[in-house]
Structures are given as C-alpha cells and as structure tokens.
Amino acid sequence: MGRRIGRRDLLKIGAASAVAAALSGCEFPRPWVHLEPYVRPPEEQVAGVGTWYASTCRQCPAGCGIIVRVLNGRAVKIEGNPQHPLNEGKLCPRGQAGLQDLYNPDRLQGPVRQAERGSRRYQAITWEQAIDDLRAGLSRAGSSLVVWADHTISGHLLDLFERLTAALGAPPPVVFDLYTALSGYAALSAADALLFGQARLPAYGMEEADVVLSFGAGFLSTWLSTTHYGVAFGSFRQRPLDRRGYLVQFEPRSGLEAAKADFWVRLRPGSEAPVAQAIARLIADGGVGPADRVSRARAWAPAVDPEAISSASGVPIDDLRRLAGTFATAARPLAIPGGALTGHGDAVAQAAAVQVLNVIAGGAGVGIAPGPPAEGLVAPVAAPYGRVQRLVERMRAGQVGALLVWGAANPAYALPPALGFVDALKQVPLVVSFRPIVDETALWADLVLPDRTYLEAWGYGVVEPSFGVPVVNSQQPVVQPLYNTRATGDVLLEVAKGIPAAAAALPWPDELSFLRERIAALPPGVFGGVGEEVEWARFLQHGFWQPRPGPGALQAPEARPQPVVVPAPSFQGAAGDYPFFLYIHMPVLLSDGRGADKPWLVGSPDPMTTLMWQTCAEIETNTAIRLGVTYGDVVRIMSPYGQVEAPVYVLNSVRPDTIAMATGLGHSALGRFASQEAEGPNPMALVGPAADASGTSMAWANIRVRVERTGRRVALAKFEDTRGSYGGFVNQAFADQYL
Amino acid sequence: MRIASRVRFLVCGAVLLALLWGGSYLSAGALPSALSWPRAPSTAAAGASPNPGFPPTVPFVPTRPPVPPQPVPFPHVAMVSRGVPCLFCHSGATRSPTAGIPSVYLCMGCHLVIGRDSPLIRQVRTYWEAQQPIPWVRIYRLPGFVQFSHRPHLAAGLNCEACHGDVGQMEVTVPYPAYKQMGWCLECHEHQPNPLPLTECQICHY
Amino acid sequence: MADATQAEHKWTMVVDLDKCTGCQACVVACHAENNVPIRNKSEVQANRAQHWIRIERYWVGDPPARARFLPMLCQHCNRAPCEPVCPVYASVHSQREHLNLQVYNRCVGTRYCNNNCPYVVRYFNFYDPYFPAPLTEQLNPDVTVRTAGIMEKCTFCIQRINRAEQQARSEGRDLGPDEVIPACVQTCPPSALLFGDLWNPESRVAKALADNPRALRVLEHLGTEPAIYYLKGGKSYVRF
C-alpha cells in the first residue's frame, strides 16, 4: 500500500469480519485494485450513502443518545441523537471520539490468557477454553466471587451479573469507577437520601435558572452530564442580556466553568460546603428575599459564623453577603454541589449543605431521579467507597475467590496505590478482565475475555439522572463486531449453563433474548407501536424510550428539616511538611483516564493549558517564581502517601497555595497512545487510602503536598505557541475588549 | 563552477517543464500545443442545435496499463442484449455518489435459476456457496482527491453510455478512453444548457 | 429547476462567545468528519499540530486572570490574503458558495498562504497521516485524505454543503434555510456555533445577526472581510 492512504482504494465489504485487505500489491500492478461488494447487503443500506443507526454513548455514565453514520459496514461518524431529550442532538468531545474505541489498533482480537501476571505475555486461546476456565474459576469461587463494574455498564449486563452473584451466594456487583468517584455520585445520592428520602442522583434545571451557584461542579467538563449541562448552559445564556443567567463558580482553580462564570470565587480547597452554609446563614440573618425563603432559611440554616468562614475560606465577607442576597432574591436560583466537595470531610453532609440552599430556594429546578421506570430494569448505583475499602481488605485476607472486572473501572489505575489493590490481587486466585483493551487491571489478570465495544453491542441504559421524564436508552450494534469477541452477557449465560447453582438463575439462550424480555416490560412509550416487535423496532430506531415527551419540570420533593453538620476542613499532611493543597480535577477530554487511549482525546488540546499528549502540575505564577520553576521544568510532587513527577505549567488562575493536577494520564497500559505516546502524572498516586467521615467517598480532595525540583526539563506540547497570533499582540487586544 | 551550475539549472528546468507539460501528451500522434484544454472539433460546436457534447470527443488517448482479467470474466453484452438495464445492478446511480457493484446476492437472485449450469454462472455460484464476495477489478477509479457523484448526473438525464461508453456491447469491460481527464468533464459541462460551472473547484475537489 | 448558475449562498458562521464553553467538542468532531490527522507528541512539540478549529484561550483581566475562549477557524474571508499569494491557484475563492477553497491536488507546498493568513488558520501536512489500522475504517470517504506536502484548512464542511446541494438539485428544489450543518456546529452542546446562508432571511444566522449590537468580526481592521461573525461576550446585569 505504501504511504498513500487513499480512502477510495478499498470499497470492499465482507459479510463476515470486515477488515481483510484484499489488495495484493504483488500480483496486481497499480493503479488497479480490487473492489469487493457485499455478498448480501443489509436491506436498508445503499452503497455510498450512509445509514444512521441510533444507539447510546458509553463514554461516561450520562447516557446521551447518539446516531452513528454507517457507510458500507463502517462506522464513520457519531452525532448526537436529535430526538433524545438529554442531549438534543448535541454531543460532547468524548462522545465524538467513540469511534476510536471501536477501531482502536490496540484492541484485543480474541480471548487471551496470561500465564504470569504482570508479564504482558498474553497467549491467545479459544472461547471454549476461555469459558471453561471461567466456569471452573467461578465454580471454585462460589460465594466468594466479586464482580466489579463501571457505571457505563448496560442495564441488562448488570442484571445478569446480579443474578449470577445472587445465585452463587456472592455479594452483588460493586459499581465503582474514578469518574463517578471524583464526581461524587455516591455522596450526592446519599445527600438526597438524607434530605429527600430518595437515594438517587439530583438533576438541576439550569436552562430555566437565573442564578446558579456552582460549588466546584465541573458541569461543563465532566460531572453528571457534560452534554446536557452544555445544552442547558446555552439556554442559560441565551436569554436577552437583562435576563441572561448569572453563574458563580466556587473553585480554587479555574476550569471551564470558572472561565464562563460571571463571578469566580477562588476559595480555599475544602471550604465549598462551609461557604454554602455561610450563605444560608446570611440569608436567614439578613432577611433578604421572599418571606417563604427567609423562613425556610431560618429553619434550615446551620449555626455557623459567616465571618469565621469568610476568613477561613478566603472569601471576603462582603462577597458572601452579596451572593446571599443575589441567591435569595433571584426568581429561579440553583445551588449545585460539585465533585470536589465530596472528596473530604463528611461528603454526604457537604453535598447536603449545598442542597439545603436549594431547599431554601423552594426546590424548583431540582429533580431527584425516579429510578428505573419499569419492573425488571436495572440501573447501576455507584458503590460507596467504604465498600471498596472492605473489598480490598477481603481480597488481602484471601477471602475473594475470583474477581471479574468489567468496563473502564480499572481499579489498578484508579484506586490510590496506598490502598494496596494491586498487592491484594495476589491473594485472589482468579482475576478476569472483560475490557476490549488491556488496561492496568488487565495487566494483573489471568484471563482477558474482551467484550464488544459499545458500538458493537446490545444493551439498554436507564438514564440517570433524567430530567423530569424517565428515559431508557437503547444500544445496538451499528457494525458487525470486528474481532473474535463475545458479548459478556453471552459469555455469562454460557458459563452459567455449567454451574448448577447458576443455571437455574440464568436460563436464557443468549443475552439478546434476555434483553428483549426486559425491555418488553416497558409500558407504551411516546413513539407508539402495538405489539412487542413494533415496540422493539421503535426502541432501536429512535434510540430511546420515554413515556411522554420531555424533559419535564423539576421540583424537589419535600425535605425533612434536619441539621446538616459540616466538619471544619481538615487535611492529610502537616502544613509544615506539605505547604500546598493538592487540587485534583478531571479534564473534559481525558476525564478519569479512560480517554487516554483515543488520539482524538489525548491529542487534542486541553482547553485551559492547550497541552496535547501531556498533563502537568499547574502552579501559580508567583509560586512558580518562588519555587524557581517555569514551564516545562519537571518537579516532584510529594504527598504523605506517594510521589509523582510532572512538568510544570504556570497558570495564573490557580490559588498560590494550591497545586492543581489533572487526572487522565500516567498509564502503563491501555494501548500505545496512552502508555507510550502520552506522558503525565497519575495524581491518584498522591491520594491516601482513607475514606471521608461518612464512608461514601474517597478522601481525595484534602491532600497536602510539597514540591521539589528535579532539575530536568521536558518540552511542553502546547498548542498555544504554535499559532503566531494566538496570545500575541493583536488577538490579545481583541480578547481584552470583546471576550 | 558558475557555468556548470547554470547549465545544471537549465537542464533541470527543461526536464521539469517537459515532465509537466509534455508527459501527458506522449502518445501515438502529434503533440498538440501545450497549455490548452482539449477542445471539441469545430464541426460539433457549429451551434446548429444545442450540442450536448455527445458523443464526447476524445482528443487523445492516454496510454493505460491493460485491465487485468476479472475473477469472473463477466460479459456485459450477455446481460444487456437480454434487456437488463444498467440500473438493475448498478442501482446506486440514482441515489448515491457511487453506482455500486451488484452483490453476489443480487446475481443469484436470478442465477439460482437462470442458466445455473453455464460455466460463467457456475463460477458465481461458487462464490455464493462459499459466502465470499467476488473480488472484481475496479475499472473506474477516480483519484482520491476527486469526489464524483452519480446522482446529480442521472437526475440531469444523462445516459450511462455518455461517460462509460457502450458497455452493453462489451465482452470485456474496459474503461472509456477519455475518462479521468478533467478537461473531458469540463467540456461536457460547458455544452449543457444549465451547467454547473466546473471552474468552481469545490464541486469536485474537497 | 432552479438555475444552477444563479444559485449562490453566502455561507456564514456565527460564534456566540458568551456561550462557548471551550469543551473542544467541535475540535474532535472536525477531526472525525474531515480526516484531520492527530499529530504525535514530537510533531506537536515541533509546533506542527493540526486542528482546523481551535479554541484559543486568552487570559483577560488582572490576576487572577480569567480564561476566555475564542473559537478560531478559517474565516473564509471575502478578501482573503491567502488567495493572491498561491503560485498554483490552490487557494481560490468560490463565487457560488463564497468560500475560500483549498484544492488539494494543486497544492505544491509553498506554505505562502498560511504565512499570509492573519488568523493563522491554515495547517500544513508536514508529515503523512498516521492512521494505524483499523483506524482507517473510520475515515470519511466524502473527504480527501491528505498526504504530506499539502496545505489544509477548514472548508465549512464543503462535503456537507455539496451533498445538500446535490440532494436539492436532484429533487428539483431549493436548499432549506438550515439544511446544511457543518460537523462543529452540529455537535456544539451550548449551540455557540451557528451556520447558514446569510442571504436567506429565514436562516438562523440571518436572524442571529439582524440588528445585533454584539456582532463583530476578528481583525476587521485588516480588511479581510471574514465570513464569520462573533457575538461578543455578554455582561450580566444582575445586581452587581
């Protein structure tokens, strides 16, 4: 083929696996090539004209609807599903990059066995052998089986795992991944349970709000639903200038949200929830706003001293008073709890402290997701971190007979090394990974049985949080599976046939029949159709089900008045030894690290630093001068639990006493792009094993660090320097004046 | 040394010019004047009736390597003489940028019954039984930087023979000699009553 | 059927700077749609990254400075500085679409066009693209895959414009007001990007720009007459 990569060279499509290159340059003189049409084309496809199939994006737990353009059996473009109520035809960058999961060059092409863990020598086996090995391992493990999944798992697959574990007497699957951990899913649900009696994720109607106080929420980059809140943000800003939404962002380092905010409060890490409480107190004391709000404020506001909180957090008391007044007098105010405030202290109380502001405001625009809309549908629920800690202890004690890890959870990468997960794995006789690509956890697995990527797989997803109307997404293969992979659901059903305890619990012949049976339980939806066949067809065609057109109005349920006690911020590491706060954040492209294997994500510029293929330690200008470092100097960041090395990026918009680091890199596996091309620190190496006071969350946001120079330098792969006028004289003037 | 370098410069320049302008004109026959698009013969452009440019003129025949033998020596004449229209097999032409090559399924639609034991059709049946696509040799292949769409041409009422020649008479399918020369497309477009001006480069090159 | 010679479109993009969140969805969508290669780390360190649309991040105000985002892509200037300087007419203007075109097969790689572009939005392929199999499966067949030595830039998704026009022409009708959507516009979650025919009063861009005091163009004083209008950031009038 040489170096010319002519797309028109290969118009062939095989009916079976698609990638056989029939171009034999030796026997065929150029310019002649082969042209292989279908053996039997799908009826709906016309050669040269794309067919659009609807499915669900699985790049994060939000569950946006997507449509995929398929041309001659190849998926060439993903777009948002214009009918879907969550994303309304729009899609975030991670969703757009989904094709590089499907066509990743480092995907496993079949099941493999690793004789020696950590050796990276994988021996290809057949599916029969793989299923036999798995069956034997599960039979031996019995009730000591542990299943670990990430939050993007399809409902039907989680259901099958739950049935399997229940049949074997094992505990239910653990749903835990770094994305939901750093977004605070478990704590947010628990806060809703505390206040509203329902342990479900909150939804915020930002499009209707006029004042939003966001306490560190990364709603435009990660958090609960990047695309939905991006769409909502557009509406939030859409209204004429005198009613344009007013956004206040509370965070120690400017991310996208602080950049777009009208007022950015650069508060001390750990003081988000105390500031929320101070604002509630000021509303109560000041008596500003409508009478019902003031009376609610007096009922709910905790007995805190706003002056003390002001000095502790670094927020001037006048600003606090002003924000309290703005919030109380707004027509539709919202307070949004972010992920960072759940990373320390008492995560549930902290999240609840912010939700209390919404209760004071009246609860309009806040929704508590109702849960799966039909019997038999399963939605993943993020496990509290305490459960993860106990699991690692059980593993270490040799009480776990088999560990099955599904999806992008990647605990060997995501969990702090101080927790000792990788060491504890040594005591687990069988470790199986189902990820289509070898990640850090699969490095320590005995068997890797690659599942199909989400573009080749069946499934459903209960959208959580949904915004006023329940939505169940459909997921269908848009292309023939590329390789010799099998759907994990089918593997489980096959395995269960040979385990007496499980065979009765999993009697279905294949996962598709199970899936259809579950979906048949949905009541008639907005797309009509009579009969199961037609309803199933509509479900696939439109990409989702909802009972009536949405989204609907959001109103929080009645809250039970109760005290919410937020402990004073405390940090891990003595201030003398560790002078800086560590602020860990998830960037929009790489998120929790699962984006690093896709060149479109890892090779595109980060919005704040414009770095590609790299992440860095972000240090404030004067601090950098004091430390004697500048862009590209490699520094060692040390916490009480570990250390990493990272290049410095001098960022004016971070607190001088804080070092900010992005998750996403520091991979030793996950393909060539993540592990060989990209370089960056994994900030989780600095985090300790502790949980917060409530046990729901990792204590990841209250780490202190110190910085040492290593004397080395790396060239930063920045985009901002390459384009001459970028940041230069002329466009800077434009920016000053018009942006 | 200066003379040598100047001579070298002139020689290189001459070679370059020869390659640029002369290369495509090396053929049997006289070298026409360089730098001009192929023009229709003056009789055709006399203006008696709107000349659709049919039959398209063939100003020169570039040398091309011969078409390798097809895996199945498919004779178009056998189909067309029995009344099968082009669009029956190449059905994408009215709907899509590419006309498409028929799938084995389409062939077998008739040939499971019709002439099933003739030697050529037995070859096609072998592919069907093995569920393998037939690896045809591609006759019409525009360069990668050209985006051509059949659909608007058929919508404008063009016959397939206008560009592909009289395929219905061919035993062995060969490309029409003038195809793959942009001047040929330009010339035909110029003679249309409502032409899309191909001097707008973005129509085909993007 | 509409007379093809008269059908002209004034393709215009409107970028609402108040809404752009800097999420890079447009950047990734453009890569996916237009086969734009991702450059590896050493190529990027050599200042040779290629992103047809980029989100420029400026620091505005006194420390701690606020980041502000400016999506920058080929402005399709009506008086484009990149056009007169191309020795082989690879950078030309379309009279029908009012776009600045890049004709890949003509480009010989002088790079004068990008040198002249005040917005610095043209990208040269210093290297061949690296699409290790099976990433080649994802390539869009409607767009040429460029090799080394060719200049490229945003085309306003001319393949989508052409496809819509062919469709309309084949069906004997005019183009609808918002029928053409480039990849970046389609994916932008806050709808900060709008696209359409300015001469069609029904289109979103015409309505967005009608009497809009926020509309301006970048580097207007250079006289390039770009086809992209930016709506400057709004200031909030709430209380403070």
Average pLDDT over residues B21-46: 40
Q: Does residue A622 sit in the same domain as residue A675?
A: yes
Do A485 and A390 belong to one domain?
yes
* pTM summary value: 0.91
Residue C213 has pLDDT above 90, yes or no: no
Same domain, yes or no: A353 and A228? yes
- A414 within some domain: yes
Report which DSSP code applies to B19. I
| CA distance linking residue A151 with residue A730, whole number of Å | 46
Q: Is C119–A613 a contact, with Cβ atoms under 8 angstroms apart?
A: no
Nearest to residue A217, comparing CAs of A369, A44, A338, A358?
Answer: A338
B97 to chain A: nearest residue by CA?
A: A48
Domain with A413 in it: 112-179+375-472+479-538
Kindly determine whether residue C60 and residue A736, on different chains, have CB atoms separated by under 8 Å: yes
CATH number for the domain spanning A707: value is: 2.40.40.20
- Asked if C57's CB is within 8 angstroms of A608's CB, the reply is yes
Are B147 and C3 within 8 A, CB to CB?
A: no
How far apart CA C132 and CA C142 sit, in angstroms, is 20
* Neighbour tally for A576: CB within 10 Å: 8
Q: Which CATH class is domain C11-231?
A: alpha beta
The verdict on A235 and A270 lying in the same domain is yes
C221/C141 Cα distance (integer angstroms): 39
**Between A19, A75, A739, which is nearest C138 by CB?**
A75
Determine contact: C189 vs chain A, CB below 8 A. Answer: yes
Subunits adjacent to chain A (3 or more Cβ pairs under 8 Å)? B, C
- Over residues A390-434, the pLDDT tens digits come to 999 999 999 999 999 999 999 999 999 999 999 999 999 999 999
Q: Does some domain include residue A202?
A: yes
How far from A237 is each of A77, A246, B40, C55, CA to CA, in Å?
29, 8, 60, 19
Q: Using the Cα atoms of residue A343, residue A697, residue A255 and residue A101 in order, give the sign of their dihedral.
A: positive
User: From the CB of residue A16, how many other CB atoms can be counted at a distance below 10 Å?
Assistant: 10
- Based on the domain organization, do A174 and A187 belong to the same domain? no
Residue A6 pLDDT > 60: no
pLDDT in tens, C15-28: 999 999 999 999 99
CA distances from residue A404 to A148, A165, A421, B157 in whole angstroms, order as listed:
6, 11, 14, 62
Residue A398 and residue A510 share a domain: yes
Q: What 3-state DSSP class applies to A650?
A: strand
Nearest to A183 by CA among A717, A591, A708, A616: A591
Q: Do A719 and C119 touch (CB under 8 A)?
A: no
Check CB contact under 8 Å for C23 and A92: yes
Q: Any chain C CB within 8 A of the CB of A448?
A: no
Does A428 reside within a domain?
yes
Q: What pLDDT shows up at residue C172?
A: 85
Read off the pLDDT of each residue in A676-685 and give the average, rounded to a whole number. 96
Would you state the structure tokens that stand for residue B198, as one six-digit string?
Answer: 């191909």
CA C137 vs. chain centroid, Å, equals 25
What the block records as the tokens of A117 is 């863990």
Q: How confident is the model at residue A25 (pLDDT cuts 50, 70, 90)?
A: very low
The DSSP output letter for B112 is T
A246 contacts C236? CB cut-off 8 A: yes
Distances A462 to A65, A86, A232, A379 between C-alpha atoms, Å = 12, 12, 20, 6
The answer to whether A493 touches A510, Cβ cutoff 8 Å, is yes
- Per mean pLDDT, which range of A25-29, A449-453, B150-154, C134-138 is the poorest? A25-29
Q: What was the pLDDT predicted at A241?
A: 64
- Least Cα separation, residue C202 to chain B (angstroms): 25
Identity of the residue in C32, C58, C239 whose CB atom sits nearest the CB atom of A732: C58
**A202 contacts A188 by C-beta, under 8 angstroms:** yes
Is pLDDT above 50 for B27?
A: no
Mark yes or no for CB contact C39/A325 under 8 Å: no
Give the pLDDT score at B19: 66
For residue B54, count other CB atoms closer than 10 A to its CB. 13
C14: distance to nearest CA of chain B, Å? Answer: 22
SS3 C186: helix
What φ, ψ does residue A178 adopt, rounded to 5°?
-70, -30
Residues of C in contact with A93 (CB under 8 A): 23-25, 27-29
d(CA A666, CA A689): 19
Tokens 């990468």 -> residue: A413
Q: Report chain C's mean pLDDT, rounded to a whole number.
A: 91
Residue from the list C129, C186, C237 with its beta carbon closest to the beta carbon of A242: C237
Instruction: State the DSSP string of A188-210.
Output: HHHHHHHHHS--S-EEE-GGG-S
H or E stretch at C125: none
The total domain count for chain A is: 4
Q: What is the CATH number of the domain that holds A386?
A: 3.40.50.740
Please state, in angstroms and rounded to a whole number, the distance separating the CA atoms of residues A110 and A485. 5
| B and C: number of Cβ contacts within 8 A | 59
A174 and A196 part of one domain: no
Q: Would you tell me how many other CB atoms lie within 10 Å of the CB of residue C3?
A: 8
Q: What is the pLDDT of residue A28?
A: 54
Average pLDDT over residues B93-105: 92
Which of C123, C136, C142, C228 to mutate against chain A (most A CBs within 10 Å)? C136
Q: Are C130 and C55 in contact (CB under 8 A)?
A: no
What is the overall mean pLDDT for chain A? 91
Q: How many CA atoms lie within 13 A of A733 on its CB side?
A: 7
Question: Which residue of B194, B200, B206 is in closest CB contact with C144?
Answer: B206
Q: Does A607 touch chain C (CB under 8 A)?
A: yes
Average pLDDT over residues A684-705: 96
pLDDT at residue A466, rounded to an integer: 85
pLDDT band at B62 (very low <50, low <70, confident <90, very high): low
Number of C-beta neighbours around residue B25 at 10 A:
14
The ipTM of this complex is 0.95
State the alpha helices, DSSP H only, in chain B.
Answer: 2-17, 76-80, 86-89, 104-111, 119-130, 150-155, 160-164, 182-190
pLDDT band at B21 (very low <50, low <70, confident <90, very high): low
Q: What mean pLDDT is predicted for residues A131-153?
A: 96
Q: Does A280 lie in the same domain as A258?
A: yes
pLDDT at A323 over 60: yes
- pLDDT-derived band at B20 (thresholds 50, 70, 90) equals low
Would you place residue A30 in the very low, low, confident or very high pLDDT band (cuts 50, 70, 90)? low
pLDDT, tens digit (0-9, with 9 covering 90-100), for B158-188: 899 988 989 999 999 988 877 888 888 888 8
Domain ranges of chain C: 11-231
Picking from A144, A201, A149, the residue whose alpha carbon sits closest to that of residue A174 is A149
CB atoms within 10 A of CB A507: 12
For C5, the token pair is 């010679």
Instruction: Tell me if chain C has a CB within 8 Å of the CB of A736.
Output: yes
**CB within 8 Å: B147 and C101:** no
A90-104, A289-303, A398-412, A523-537: least confidently modelled range: A523-537
pLDDT value, residue C101? 95
* Shortest alpha-carbon distance between residue A640 and chain C (Å): 29
Other CB atoms within a 10 A radius of the CB of residue A242 amount to 9
Q: Are A622 and A696 within one domain? A: yes
Pairwise CB contact (< 8 Å): A37 & B65: no
Give the whole-angstrom CA distance, residue C194 versus residue C187: 11
Which stretches does DSSP call E strand in A57-176?
A: 65-71, 74-80, 112-114, 122-124, 145-149, 174-175
Return the structure tokens found at B109: 């639609």
Distance, in Å, from the CA atom of A463 to the CA atom of A470, rounded to the nearest integer, reads 7
Chain centre to alpha carbon of residue A618: 22
In this prediction, residue B58 has a pLDDT band, given cuts at 50, 70 and 90, of low
- Which candidate, A288, A283, A254, places its Cα nearest to that of A608? A254
Q: Does A23 touch chain B (CB under 8 A)?
A: no
pLDDT of A607: 95
**pLDDT > 70? residue B50:** no
Is position A216 within any domain? Answer: yes
Q: What's residue B176's pLDDT?
A: 86
**Could you write out the DSSP letters of every residue in B121-172?**
HHHHHHHHHHT----EEPS----TT----HHHHHHTT--HHHHH--GGG-SS
Same domain, A246 and A141: no
Look up residue C54 and give its amino acid: R
The verdict on A229 and A150 lying in the same domain is: no
A622-635 burial, b for 16+ CB within 10 Å, e for fewer?
A: ebbeebebebbbbb
By C-alpha distance, the chain A residue nearest B109 is A40
Which of A341, A368, A395 delimits the end of a domain? A368
Q: How confident is the model at residue A724 (pLDDT cuts 50, 70, 90)?
A: very low
Note whether A307 and A210 are same-domain residues: yes
> Least CA distance to C185: which residue of chain A?
A90
The strand pair at A122-124 and A145-149 is best described as unpaired
- The pair of structure tokens assigned to A602 is 């890892």
Interface contact flag, B194 C143, Cβ < 8 Å: no
Closest by CA position to A735, among listed C216, C156, C74, C12: C216
pLDDT score of A242 = 65
Q: Kindly report the number of other CB atoms within 10 A of residue C136's CB atom.
A: 21
Structure tokens that stand for B128 in this block: 């069907």
pLDDT bin (cut points 50, 70, 90) of residue A366 is very high
Q: CB of B94 within 8 Å of any CB in chain A? A: no
Question: In chain C, what is the straight-line distance between the N-terminal and C-terminal CA atoms, in Å?
Answer: 57
Is the pLDDT assigned to residue C6 strictly greater than 90?
A: no
Q: Name every chain C residue with its beta carbon within 8 A of the beta carbon of B146.
A: 105
Q: What is the mean pLDDT of residues A270-284?
A: 96
Q: Is residue A681 part of a domain?
A: yes
Res B11: pLDDT: 80
Closest CA–CA distance from residue A225 to any residue of chain B (Å): 35
Domain closes at, from A304, A334, A368? A368
Structure tokens at C123: 């990208």
Q: In whole angstroms, what is the distance from residue A10 CA to residue B144 CA? A: 11
The beta strand positions in A376-427, using DSSP E, are: 402-406
Contacts of B97 in chain A (CB under 8 A): 48-49
The helix or strand, by DSSP H or E, that contains position A475, with its residue range, turns out to be strand A472-475
Residue A529 lies in a domain: yes
Residues 184-203 of B with CB under 8 A from A: none
CA–CA separation, A591 vs A585, rounded Å? 9
What contacts A584, CB < 8 A, 6 or more positions away?
Answer: A182, A340, A343, A660, A661, A662, A663, A683, A684, A687, A700, A701, A703
Give me the mean pLDDT over the A441-450 stretch.
Answer: 97
Contact A304, A281 (CB under 8 A): yes
User: Could you give the maximum distance between any two Cα atoms of chain A, in Å?
Assistant: 87
Residue C92: its chain B contacts at CB < 8 A?
A: 201
Q: In what order do the strands lie in the sheet with A74-80?
A: A51-56, A65-71, A74-80
Q: Beta-carbon neighbour count of residue A317 at 10 Å?
A: 15
Instruction: Please check whether residue A83 lies inside any domain of the structure.
Output: no
Determine which of A80-94, A410-424, B22-36, C149-163 has the lowest per-residue pLDDT on average: B22-36
User: What pLDDT shows up at residue C1?
Assistant: 37
Mean pLDDT over B5-11 rounds to 81
Three-state DSSP state, A638: strand
Determine which of A19, A26, A40 to mutate to test the interface with B (most B C-beta atoms within 10 Å).
A40
Alpha carbon distance A508, C194 (integer Å)? 49
Which DSSP string corresponds to A257-279?
Answer: HHHH-SEEE-PPTT-HHHHHHHH
Question: Is A552 part of any domain?
Answer: no
Interface residue A262 vs chain C (CB under 8 A): yes
Which chain B residue shows the shortest CA-CA distance from A28?
Answer: B68
